[in-house]
Amino acid sequence: MTERPGVGRLWGGSPPPRSDVTYDAVVVVPGLMGSELRDAEDGRLLWGISPRLLEQMWQNPLTLQDLHLTPRERAGSYGRVRATALLRVPSWAPIFQGFEPYAALCRTVGDAVADPRALLAFPYDWRLPVEYNGGLLAQAARRHLEAWTAAAASEPALRRLWDRPPRLVFVAHSMGGLVTLAALERHRDLLPDTRTVITLGTPFLGSAKAAVVLNGDRGSRIPRRVVRRLQALAATLPGVHELLPDFRCVDRGLEAGRLDPPTVEAIGGDRELASAVQARQTRMRSPGAAALPDHRAVVGVGQETVQGIRVDGAVVTPRFEAFLTHSDGHLRRDAHGVPERRDRQGDGTVYRDAAHRGAAGPVYLPVQHGALAGNETVLRYVHAVLTEYDDRVGPPMGSGELGVVVPDEGVTAGDPWEVRVTGRTEAAGASCVLTDADTGRQVARGRLSARDDGLRATLAAPAPGLFRVSVTAGGVAPVTQLVMAHGPGEAAG
């Protein structure tokens, strides 16, 4: 061995290994309720508060008022509320359930880029229309690409490692994928400068759960006053209406129909907002609509998911089966003319067939919607796509994907409650733990036992607050979901 000149260590004749990185400019786009929101005048935090205060926020009738869209905002005068950061702490909302923070996703992207300056986190006011936020994203992405290209070009150590100039890569969770699509549709000059778009659970065809939210989920065990607060908020927000389903999901017995604006109004939504969303969805389905460059869709599966609705007297009843269609779009029917239905499942919010938009080879993973941006297997896939050179394959998944079901209405602190695990019938090698979402400390472990519909475990939260259920089996990353523990007496009424 010889000593390399100028280096105080032995030189073995081979260069040291370099980290596997991308020289592209990466933009992380969060989903609905995935950005911290603050009052623009006094800086008060309106969304993204500590998990310790979440339960109080949903119990207090005044705390959500500042999130309602005002008449001035409805007229297009925005700026009263500022999006200041991606969600940094776990959060929760009735019916929607848990929202995990984006720190893990940003760390993964940060590890995959050549320099921290190549990463842009794009918070946005998720209350507002997708097309408005898409315009802001397009401007921010263009500035980011130009700034990173100029910075890297000025540094020889970075410039000499290029094989081409940097391009954009978007990593978008949930509604963030719709915002990204709107950005590329309205600002098509970005298309040739975009290498790849990675979407995580994006509802390209909407989510039937949005109709359940606007109706207030009349059959839920969630306290009515809490549901009414979410319902009243959602009815004012273009962002929630953006998630309305764009597929035939309304069960009419021997027929299946689309959810139209008059019906949206009848169930508690806003007809004008629904009409605007329907117009956008129609444009996105038109032959001339923009295609997402090299689209990679990560789709959550194996979770109990609303896939349709029935509307009776302005009351929405969720359905957990999807209508099947032929390639020409007509309903598939059995020998008696009855529409065929299947439980296609999904990620708990977006059913599987609504979460990809013609992506070649969607990657299916058993992950809850709110946890997609923090799941270890998803993060490894994102890192691999960012740093890939050649043709790719997604992580292999077979049948029997792990799913977890927790009480969406929350639980009462100190009282036992059940976790249901689907996709597995043997308890051997499986575990179920409860951790404090604020501190990460494990507070309970449930003993899983086999039942006819999978596995069950009993847990109890020691105090009011936000907790994370984690179920592990085999070699895949844990399936997680957040659950709110209410104080005694708060979960009723």
pLDDT of residue 13: 52
**Total of domains in the chain:** 2
CA gap 220, 218 in Å, rounded: 6
Domain limits for position 473:
403-486
* Predicted pLDDT at 399: 45
pLDDT of residue 10: 44
Domain boundary (401, 419, 442) is at: 401
So what's the pLDDT on residue 219? 72
Query: Is 76 within the bounds of a domain?
Result: yes
> What would the pLDDT profile of 385-394 be if each residue is shown by its tens digit?
999 873 444 4
pLDDT tens-digit profile of 84-106?
A: 999 999 999 988 888 999 999 99
Q: Return the pLDDT at 400.
A: 58
Inside any domain, residue 326: yes
Residues in the chain with pLDDT < 70? 1-18, 359, 390-400, 474-476, 490-493
The answer to whether residues 395 and 444 belong to one domain is no
Q: 401, 423, 454: which is the final residue of a domain?
A: 401
Residue 3 counted as domain residue: no
Cα 30 from Cα 33, distance rounded (Å): 8
- What's the pLDDT score for residue 329? 81
User: What does pTM read for this prediction?
Assistant: 0.84
Q: Are 445 and 435 in contact (CB under 8 A)?
A: no
128 Cβ neighbours under 8 A, 6+ residues apart:
73, 78, 238, 239
Q: Which of 401, 423, 452 is the endpoint of a domain?
A: 401
Same domain, 395 and 424: no
Residues 343 and 444 both lie in one domain: no
**Within this chain, do residues 428 and 360 fall inside the same structural domain, yes or no?**
no
CB atoms within 10 A of CB 47: 23
Residues 303 and 447 in one domain: no
**415 and 271 belong to one structural domain:** no
- Same domain, yes or no, for 257 and 361? yes
Shared-domain flag, residues 135 and 64: yes
- 53 with 168, same domain: the answer is yes
Instruction: Give buried/exposed letters for 323-333 (b at 16+ CB in 10 A, else e).
Output: bebeeeeebee
H or E element in which residue 274 lies: helix 271-285
Domain containing residue 446: CATH number: 2.60.40.10
Tell me how far apart the alpha carbons of residues 167 and 194 are, in angstroms, rounded to a whole number. 5
